[in-house]
A = this chain, B = another copy of it.
């Protein structure tokens, strides 16, 4: 039986789904000669660690209890009553994770799984790379920091997986890596990588006012608590940056041209969320509707896309043919069109749900399993 020890950082929605998947896949993985051993789980405040790191992980019933505790909004430290673990609290968390990494990283190997949404994990991840650990990320922040951080993480590229940083579980990164390693030159990539903005753009296309669509999207749970986090385009820009860097572009977030769907005067520093939803948005309706109509008069539709072509990387609204994979996109699906030498007239298209905790966790789990050849 091949054992993959792992520490999970972040047990919000994605992290919890991952733990549940790991538990429910026990017999599947076992039939493949594989055992995923969860030796530690942490959030921003606490870390629980197996009390016999080299020999056993946290038990499955413990992991499910942990998911229950976190779902209920309680603290991980509550789990210390449970017996089979030790618990550490901030600020000794990161130090403790690195201690484990140095202790078992070289002996059994270790995967550090980052399902947080924090920029703080990058310190741990950088050091863990030096200690020979593998890293799996759903968190985009460590990959969209400086080029120096990026290069450091990719010092041993085979030990890094991050499928769920772009398009959740959609096989975007895996496919792009295959294209790169087969030497098929990428001409350009264009994609709709925000389920929220995909939904918004296809709804305004039907003539609905932007303000109404955004409010509905918020009610449906499609947006962040402050919808400006989606409408500003920064999340899409991070995804675009990750794709551009995979293609070898040594660029930073600030080299990406980002079109925000709201002006600075309606930013979070100026306006409350409520104000933005009640008043701000209304002022944006006419402009978007004019653009939608102008596009329609050319037989086109508007999509909020990222475009990567050579060293150019842009994020914003584009007018696209109605009869293209992107133009036909409805609802909250993500879609990516990749044009290469092999896919020159018609692109390689990958499409499907690009958000959701379960889908994101599925991508993370597939990444972990895919690292198995590095473990003994």
Query: What residues make up the interface of A, taking CB atoms closer than 8 Å to B?
Result: 21, 24-25, 28-29, 32, 157-158, 163, 169-171, 174-175, 178-179, 181-184, 325, 328, 331, 333, 341-343, 346-353, 356, 358-359, 362-363, 365-366, 369-370, 372-374
State A346–B356 Cα separation when bound (angstroms).
Answer: 13
15 residue pairs of the A-B complex, CB under 8 angstroms, read: A21-B183, A169-B178, A169-B342, A170-B348, A171-B171, A171-B178, A171-B350, A174-B175, A175-B175, A178-B363, A182-B362, A184-B362, A343-B352, A343-B359, A348-B351
> Inside 8 A of A157's CB, which chain B residues have their CB?
32
**Least CB separation from A332: chain B residue:** B346
State A2–B241 Cα separation when bound (angstroms).
Answer: 29
Q: A21-B183, A171-B175, A175-B171 are in contact. Are A342 and B358 (CB under 8 A)?
A: yes
> Inside 8 A of A341's CB, which chain B residues have their CB?
358
10 other A-B residue contacts (CB within 8 Å) besides A343-B353, A350-B350: A25-B183, A158-B373, A179-B362, A181-B366, A184-B362, A331-B346, A342-B359, A343-B359, A348-B352, A373-B374
Contact status B346-A349, CB under 8 Å? no
State A331–B347 Cα separation when bound (angstroms).
Answer: 13
> Inside 8 A of A365's CB, which chain B residues have their CB?
181-183
Contact status B347-A24, CB under 8 Å? no
Contact status A178-B352, CB under 8 Å? no
**Least CB separation from A22: chain B residue:** B183
> Inside 8 A of A29's CB, which chain B residues have their CB?
181
Q: How many copies does the complex hold?
A: 2
> Inside 8 A of A374's CB, which chain B residues have their CB?
373
State A175–B158 Cα separation when bound (angstroms).
Answer: 18
State A28–B185 Cα separation when bound (angstroms).
Answer: 11
Q: A175-B174, A351-B348, A352-B349 are in contact. Are A370 and B181 (CB under 8 A)?
A: yes
State A352–B182 Cα separation when bound (angstroms).
Answer: 17
> Inside 8 A of A369's CB, which chain B residues have their CB?
181-182
> Inside 8 A of A351's CB, which chain B residues have their CB?
325, 348-351
State A374–B376 Cα separation when bound (angstroms).
Answer: 11
Q: A350-B350, A358-B341 are in contact. Are A182 and B158 (CB under 8 A)?
A: no
Contact status A363-B182, CB under 8 Å? yes
Output the least CB separation between A327 and chain B (Å).
11
Contact status B169-A171, CB under 8 Å? no
State A349–B169 Cα separation when bound (angstroms).
Answer: 12
Contact status B370-A178, CB under 8 Å? yes
Pick the most buried of A170, A181, A182, A348: most chain B CB atoms within 10 A of its CB. Answer: A182
Q: A169-B342, A333-B346, A349-B351 are in contact. Are A182 and B366 (CB under 8 A)?
A: yes
Q: A333-B346, A349-B350, A352-B348 are in contact. Are A28 and B372 (CB under 8 A)?
A: no
Pick the most buried of A179, A349, A372: most chain B CB atoms within 10 A of its CB. Answer: A349
Nearest 3 A/B pairs, CB to CB: A373-B373, A25-B183, A348-B352
State A353–B171 Cα separation when bound (angstroms).
Answer: 17
> Inside 8 A of A21's CB, which chain B residues have their CB?
182-183
Across the interface, A183 reaches (CB within 8 A) one of B28, B171, B175, B372, namely B28
Q: A349-B349, A351-B348 are in contact. Are A356 and B342 (CB under 8 A)?
A: yes
Q: A181-B370, A182-B369 are in contact. Are A328 and B328 (CB under 8 A)?
A: yes
Contact status B183-A169, CB under 8 Å? no
Across the interface, A353 reaches (CB within 8 A) one of B158, B174, B346, B353, namely B346
> Inside 8 A of A179's CB, which chain B residues have their CB?
362, 366
